[in-house]
Amino acid sequence: MKTSIALIGFMGAGKSAVGKVLAKRLEKTFIEVDSSIERKAGKSIPRIFKENGEIGFRELEIKVIKEIAASKNQIISCGGGAVLNRINIERLKQDSVIVWLKVSPSVVFRRTGLDVYTRPLLGGIQGSEDIRHLLNFRRPFYESSADFAVNTSKLSIDRVVNLILDKLKEYADYNR
Ligand code: S3P
C-alpha cells in the first residue's frame, strides 16, 4: 500500500501551494525537495547552480529524493526537473502515487515572472515561447512518470486539491 503523494510538474505549476493544502487535508507531512536540497548543501539553489552547475544540482537532487522516498505518509513537492532522472521516479513510485500538475506556458510565465534569482533555469528564457519549448521537451518525462494529471492553469488551489482527492479514490493501492 502506498502512503504518499509526489507532485511533479513544471516550475509554476503550483506543486508547493497545492502540496501544502493537500498535506493539511490528508494530515500528512509536507516535504519540499528543493528546500531539503538547500538544507543538505547549506546553500541556495541559485548558488548550487552557480558553483556546482546543473549536474551538481541533479546529483544532490537524486541523493535527497532517495532519502525522502524512504519515509512514509508524505506529500512530496518535487522540483520541475526531478523527472529527468528516471531513478528519482522509480524510488518515489515505491510509496507514492505520482500526480502531474499540468500548466500552460502563459501561466508559467505569469506565475514565475521569469524569476531568475530563485529559478536559475529560467535564465536565458525570454517569454512564453521559450517556456513552450522547454515544456515540450519535458512533457514525455512527466507523462511517463505520472499516475494521473490535473491541469492547474485555470483552477484555484482548493479546486486542484479536491480533484486530486477525487482521483485518488480510483487507486486501490493508495492507503488514505
Ligand atoms: C527546476 C525547478 C526548480 C528547481 C531547480 C530546477 C527545473 O523547482 O528544482 O531550479 O529543472 O525545472 P520548482 O519546479 O519548484 O521551481
pLDDT single digits (tens) 40-64: 999 999 999 999 999 999 999 999 9
Average pLDDT, the chain: 95
Taken in order 155, 172, 93, 23, is the CA torsion positive or negative?
positive
Average pLDDT over residues 111-121: 86
Residue 105 pLDDT > 90, yes or no?
Answer: yes
Our answer on whether the CB atom of 98 is closer than 6 Å to any ligand 1 atom is: no
Cell readout for 78 is 518535487
Cell readout for 133 is 519549448
Residue whose C-alpha is closest to residue 129's, from 104, 164, 105: 105
Cell readout for 141 is 518525462
Give the predicted TM-score (pTM) of the model. 0.97
Ligand 1 atom 1: residue of nearest CA: 80
Ligand 1 atom 8: residue of nearest CA: 79
Ligand 1 center–CA 120 separation, angstroms: 8
